[in-house]
A and B are shown apart, each in its own frame.
Chain A
Amino acid sequence: MQTWIDTLIVFAAELRRALRSPRVLLVLFLYLAFAGVAMLGAGWLARQSQAQLIAQGQSMEALSSPKAGFLAMFFRPDRALIESLVDIPAAVLVVFVLGRFFLSVYVALLGFDTVSAELQTRSLRYLGVRTSRTALALGKGLALATLVLILVTLVHLGAFGDALVSVPEFSLADAARAWPRLWGTTVLLGLAMAALTTLCSTLTRSPALALTLNLAVLFALWVAGIVSDGARMMRLVPGRESEASWQEHLGLLVPSTWSTEALYPDAARSLPAALVLLGFALLFTAGAVATLRTRDL
């Protein structure tokens, strides 16, 4: 019980610290601005294409084909998945895709020093004699996760709000159906990345090294994801169908692969994927707690 009380005390102090940190505020602003520009750009392009089609006397359905190609490229060439996404406005999908590719880097920039900076200056010693290291790791990780939750929610609110205003076919009911899949998946992916960042921050006394390590892990995950996607695509080539190779199985270790799985409309497929994403978050958090508990302060 005491550990949970202390976790909340550390969480409150860490969140207050983060919301007063110029660097954290700048990173939050940059992500919001980045997402905002991409969202507005995608919305403008979609409206231009729509206007051109109408001017040429073509039906709206003609727009679905290039959009499906875009979705297949950024998600997965799978009919069930594409069909479930194709009616969602481009601005909303762009925000989701940005989250999949860039959120992890922003999370690393937000939290790489959350523990490592206090190990470097040894200021963690003032806390370590007063509470358990479990409470310290959990409180700091929770504060970072909360920042990610706020960021993802703000970006998705903006994207859904813009889509509701600018795309007449996108109703409130459509938004309510799409919101849990897109927002929920991004939040789970963000939580896993926040936990990974906290873990990297506990592994070293140097904030610069913690950031480098974090980015290296993200790069390795990105490469593993590309190798896995490439192997999957090769299997789709007619005449080359075979059993899934080990390269394709590499994707099982990559959280963003599971974030694609979590988007499927079929709950039997998306819920386990969401649980795996949650599992990544818990695994990395457990790693951070174990590292901080065993290391010298």
Chain B
Amino acid sequence: MNGAALVLEQVSKRFGERRALETVTLSVPEGTVWGLIGPNGAGKSTTFNLLCGYLRPSAGTVRVLGLDPRRPGVLKGRVGVLPQDAALPSYLAVGPLLSYLARLSGLERPERAARVALEQVALPDVWDVPPSSLSHGMARRVSIAQALMGDPPVILLDEPTAGLDPRIAVEVRHLVKGMRGRATVLVSSHNLPELEALCDGAAILDRGALVQAGTMRELTARGAEFRIQVAAGNVPLEGIRALPGVAEASLQPDGLLRVTVRPEDGTPETILNATLRALLDAGVQVSGVSQGQSLEARVLAVT
């Protein structure tokens, strides 16, 4: 799996005078789990809806598995979608509804596909229940089930764990993780720690523009920086700065030692170990170590 499954090239979208997206170029590699991040009004939902073919771009090109999502019926069986604010059709009970959707997706055994999908989200008992009688969380799980039905090669999930209780949210995260390599998954979410744990990469949008995109390692500078929380002792700052591969070291008043590395002089892990050794040799007590910035800090810095 090499090529890009999802591609936006110079895509703009206007709603009347309002510009929702402005010349966004983005590609998501096949078989990866990617996040779509940004504050409210950043253009996440617009990007999501363009990829689903719900909206037509004002300019630029959108491709899903190399195909124009606006072409009639082109996403059938290829894309599973969890829309954020779409109510489940209420005219059929859950089981018949999922069977109907599976039939429209062109699945060979629609009823079986529906049952398997409901078991995946731990809701095998709601077959005859009308969607309008489900709690918000259960309806969300049914929506996730319909997106996963038939193992489509592309899955687009808008806020998949919003409104779910923690245990179910963990199960959904496991489900999404399990798709890595089998499907390309794009997750739009405000839950940044969740995305950091889940995604191989992410795109950060702000006010309709793409401000940064890349692998999670690139976004969090995981290979370029680490931080050590000092509990007690005198930090040999000059000695650390002199270590091979250390570009810069600074100690903050709260005892946080921040070290920037030159990756060409060694792996980040080697430089981290050498720094820890220097601290321990100097009798410094360490209470915590982290690599890179948190995704949250990165997003706050760029938006």
Known contacts A128-B53, A130-B101; A122 and B87 CB within 8 A of each other: yes
Residue B104 is within 8 A (CB to CB) of chain A in the complex: yes
Residue among B53, B77, B88, B100 with max Cβ neighbours from chain A (10 Å): B100
Q: Which residue of chain B has the shortest Cβ distance to A127 in the bound complex? A: B104
Instruction: Judge whether A126 and B54 touch: CB under 8 Å.
Output: no
Task: Spot the interface stretch: B78-86, B174-182, B192-200.
Answer: B78-86
Closest Cβ of chain B: how far from A234's Cβ, in Å? 47
Partner of A13, one of B79, B87, B92, B106: B92
Q: Which residue of A3, A127, A132, A296 contacts B101 across the interface (Cβ within 8 Å)? A: A127
Q: How many cross-chain pairs have Cβ atoms below 8 Å apart between A and B?
A: 79
Are the CB atoms of B92 and A134 closer together than 8 Å? no
A129-B75, A132-B72 known; A123-B89 Cβ under 8 A: yes
Beta-carbon contact of B101 and A123 below 8 Å: no
Whether A56 is near chain B, meaning CB under 8 Å from some CB there, is no
**Do B92 and A2 have beta carbons less than 8 Å apart?**
no
Chain A minimum-CB-distance residue to B131? A123
Is B76's CB within 8 Å of the partner chain A? yes
Residues of A within 8 A of B77 (CB): 130
B73 near A125 with CB under 8 A, answer no
Is A133 within 8 A of B86, CB to CB? no
Q: A121-B86, A123-B87, A125-B86 are in contact. Are A130 and B54 (CB under 8 A)?
A: no
**Bound CA–CA A207/B107 (angstroms):** 32
Closest-CB distance, B14 to chain A (whole angstroms): 12
**Distance of A250 from chain B, by nearest CB (Å):** 35
Q: Which residues of B contact A274 (CB under 8 A)?
A: none
Q: Does B220 contact A (CB under 8 A)?
A: no
Give every chain A residue within 8 A of B88 (Cβ-Cβ).
123, 126
Taking CB atoms, residues of chain B closer than 8 Å to A123 are: 86-90
Find chain B residues with CB under 8 A from A131 CB: 73, 76, 104
Question: Which B residues are in CB contact (< 8 Å) with A20?
Answer: 91
Cβ-based interface call for A115 (8 A):
no
Return A243 CB to nearest CB of chain B, in Å. 47
- Do B72 and A13 have beta carbons less than 8 Å apart? no
Over the window 50-81 of chain B, the binary record of Cβ atoms lying under 8 Å from chain A Cβ atoms (1 yes, 0 no) is: 00111110000000000000001101110101
Residue of A nearest to B91 (CB): A17
Would you list which residues of chain B between 84 and 133 have a CB under 8 Å from chain A? 85-92, 100-101, 103-106
Give the docked Cα–Cα distance between A13 and B91 (Å). 9
Q: A123 CA to B54 CA in the complex, in Å? A: 12
Nearest A-chain residue to B81, judged by Cβ: A129
Chain A residues, CB < 8 A from B54? 125, 128-129, 296-297
Q: Are A296 and B55 in contact (CB under 8 A)?
A: yes
State A100–B256 Cα separation when bound (angstroms). 83
When chains A and B are docked, how far (Å) is the Cα of A238 from the Cα of B71?
61
Contact B85 A122 (CB under 8 A): yes
Contact A13 B56 (CB under 8 A): no
Quick one: CB contact mask for A234-276 with B, threshold 8 Å, 1 for yes?
0000000000000000000000000000000000000000000
A6 in contact with B101 (CB, 8 Å)? no
Contacts of B89 in A (CB 8 A): 118, 123, 126-127
Bound complex: CA A20 to CA B96 (Å): 14
Q: Is A10 an interface residue (CB 8 A)?
A: yes
- Give chain A nearest CB distance to B216 CB in angstroms: 27
Let me know if B87 and A133 touch, CB within 8 A: no
Whether B53 contacts A129 by the Cβ 8 Å rule is yes
The answer to whether A125 touches B100, judged by C-beta atoms less than 8 angstroms apart, is no
Closest partner residue, chain B, to A6 (CB atom): B104
Say whether A125 contacts B105, CB under 8 Å: no
Residue B146 at the chain A interface, CB threshold 8 Å = yes
Query: Which B residues are in CB contact (< 8 Å) with A122?
Result: 83, 85-87
- A10 near B104 with CB under 8 A, answer yes
Distance in Å: Cβ of A215 to nearest Cβ of chain B: 24
Task: Known A-B contacts: A128-B53, A128-B54. Give 18 more (CB < 8 A).
Answer: A2-B76, A6-B104, A9-B104, A13-B91, A16-B92, A122-B85, A123-B87, A123-B90, A125-B52, A125-B83, A126-B86, A127-B101, A128-B52, A129-B75, A129-B81, A131-B104, A132-B73, A294-B56
Write 13 A-B pairs (CB below 8 A) sorted by A numbering: A2-B73, A3-B72, A3-B73, A9-B103, A121-B86, A123-B87, A126-B86, A127-B89, A128-B53, A130-B75, A130-B76, A130-B105, A296-B49
The 5 closest A-B pairs by CB, nearest first: A132-B72, A122-B86, A17-B91, A132-B73, A130-B104
Interface set of B (CB-CB < 8 Å, partner A): 49, 52-56, 72-73, 75-77, 79, 81, 83, 85-92, 100-101, 103-106, 146
